[in-house]
Amino acid sequence: MSTIDLAVIGGSGLYKFPGLQNAERLAVDTPYGAASGDVVLGDFAGKRLAFLARHGESHTLPPHRVNYRANLWALHSLGARRVIGVNAVGGIRSDMGPRVIVVPDQLIDYTHGRATSYCDVEGAEVKHIDFSEPYTESLRRPLLAAARAAGIAVIDGGCYGATQGPRLETRAEIARMKRDGCDLVGMTGMPEAALARELTLEYACLALVANFAAGCGDEAEISIEEIFAHLAAATAEVPRILAAMLKS
Binding site for substrate: what residues are annotated?
187, 211-213
Strand partners, 72: none
Binding residues for phosphate: 12, 54-55, 188
- Omega before 191 within 30 of 0, i.e. cis: yes
Q: Nearest 5°: phi and psi at 167?
A: -70, 155
Alpha-carbon dihedral of residues 55, 59, 61, 63, nearest 10 degrees?
A: 60
Pairing of strands 155-156, 101-103: parallel
b/e code 214-244 from CB counts within 10 Å (16+ = b): bebeeeeebeeeebbebbeebbebbbbbbbb
Closest CA to 42 of 71, 67, 16: 16
Q: H/E element holding 143?
A: helix 137-149
Rg (CA), the chain: 17
| Residue list, annotated binding site | 12, 54-55, 187-188, 211-213
Which residues is 185 bridged to in the sheet? 90, 161
Q: Please, are residues 183 and 74 in contact by the beta-carbon 8 Å criterion? A: no
Q: How far apart are CA 97 and CA 6, in angstroms?
A: 28
